[in-house]
A and B are shown apart, each in its own frame.
Chain A
Amino acid sequence: MALTQHDIDKEIAAERDAYEQRVAGGAPVEHHPDRGYAPYRSSVLRHPKRPPVGIDVTKDPELVELSSPAWGERDITELDNDLTRQHRGEPVGERITVEGRLLDREGRPVRGQLVEIWQANSAGRYAHQREQHDAPLDPNFTGAGRTLTDDHGFYRFTTIQPGPYPWRNHTNAWRPAHIHFSVFGRSFTQRLVTQMYFPNDPLFPYDPILHAVTDQAARDRLVAAYDHNLSVPEFSLGYRWDIVLDGPSATWMEEGR
């Protein structure tokens, strides 16, 4: 009765084949998941079935959605981007540095915007009350951080390599290691919540959340690159991951944020 990994594998393959046929038939490449991607079972009752109403933002430059909430130095503290220094002791695990740029679809840096992350500890456990996985909690690791992008659009975090963890989508479901990201753009329409993965994770083929992005090239953009130049000697391994915001934005200004 319980769903097996094999059941989910077949559904993932069917969704991928259907997508490839659509594209072969001239349909556009899909960069984002279909909200109704059924192999991820939680989506079944939580996605709208009616098509969205389209808004052409070029016809109305007064839309409040073409601007975004403002963030400043008082919204973060200096230590917020170092998840290894939020407690008295050192967290357990492999220290990593994650750096990248926040860009818009034109490749332009998005400056001064809020980037928030959260993740499991090195054993694959979240510091969340409803977490049911019985891996150990780490008293020296909470796993939440935030920062503002700098004048060139860069963000940077110091943290611990998160562990993979089991979940209850189907029997023997495991999430590949990942860090959750929440980012703001210059306009409310560019809002993005996503997940960063690590290269060569053996769990990639089995995960319906990752495969909800049915396009292989788009999926690959969720995977960070190991970057030896970002590794800090005697301290941490470096990963580089750029984030490109979708959605229309107001006219870009060279100066200011």
Chain B
Amino acid sequence: MTDIATTDTHGAEAVLPTPSQTVGPFYGYALPIPDGGNIAPVGHPDTVTVHGHVYDGEGNPLPDALVELWGAAPDGSVPTATGSMRRDPASGGFVGRNGLEFTGWGRIQTDADGHWVARTLRPGARGGGAPYLAVCVFARGLLMHLFTRIYLPGDDAALAADPVLSQVEEGRRSTLVAEEQAPATYRFDIRLQGENETVFLEYQ
């Protein structure tokens, strides 16, 4: 039974958390959103393409991983616009983003090759850290989501001074920094296990 001590709005009594469970194999008809990775407003000059594969411990790509991205706007502000999924009351379907507002959030299911692609706005720095996109990864077989970050290369001084990157042992920092493949196009692979395992984060 749900036996958590709940209190009303002003109560400070701590309650115990609901455990995480895997997303399983069958979320694919429920969670993905059409154009879920097209986060940038259409034609915006600060658009960046970020893409990569998700791999398991044997180096095989995951065709059933779900990647969620969340990032600041180019000026470092936190997006507050709704409309990431916009539903249509006439058809009951999704109409997708309106191409104008920046919600900062996207959701992409990997394709049969284990590949995901997002087009979003280049995040701006907040506070003293280097700019980054926050990432949350789900998959069948993953009993609890994983958090990581995508830092974009270019400003070596900012990356060196970043409080999170500097906590990571030097040999593993590169797993958090995307590789620039072409102007405004970056590759970021997520390795759940094994050689070059991605650095994952835990917030306390």
Measuring CB to CB, which residues of chain A are less than 8 angstroms from any residue of chain B?
31-35, 37, 40, 42-50, 52-57, 59-65, 67-80, 86, 100-101, 103, 105-109, 116-118, 120, 126-128, 130-131, 142-144, 180, 182, 188-189, 191-195, 199, 209-210, 212-213, 217-225, 240-248, 254
A128 to B29 alpha-carbon distance, docked (Å):
6
Q: Would you call A106 and B13 a contact (CB within 8 A)?
A: yes
Residue from the set B24, B81, B145, B198 with the largest chain A CB neighbour count within 10 Å: B24
Asked whether, in the complex, the Cβ of B89 is within 8 Å of the Cβ of A221, the reply is: no
Total B residues in contact with A, Cβ cutoff 8 Å: 88
- What's the Cα separation between A100 and B2 when bound, in Å? 10
Residue of A at shortest CB range from B76? A62
Shortest distance between the CB of B147 and any CB in chain A (Å): 7
Using CB atoms, name the residue of chain B closest to A85. B92
Which of the residues A35, A50, A109, A191 comes within 8 Å of B143, measured between beta carbons? Answer: A35
A43 to B56, CA, bound (A): 10
Q: Which residue of B lies closest to A218 (CB)?
A: B19
Chain A contact residues: helix, strand, loop or mixed: loop
A–B Cβ pairs within 8 angstroms, 18 of them: A31-B19, A43-B22, A46-B56, A47-B142, A48-B198, A56-B204, A62-B127, A78-B89, A80-B87, A103-B6, A106-B15, A116-B31, A193-B22, A209-B21, A209-B143, A210-B21, A223-B1, A242-B6
In the complex, what distance in Å separates the CA atom of A119 from the CA atom of B146? Answer: 23
Q: Is B167 an interface residue (CB 8 A)?
A: yes
**B residues apposed to A, CB below 8 Å:** 1-7, 9, 11-31, 56-58, 60, 62, 68, 70-72, 78-89, 92, 103-105, 123, 126-129, 132, 134, 136, 138-147, 163-164, 167-168, 172, 192-194, 197-204
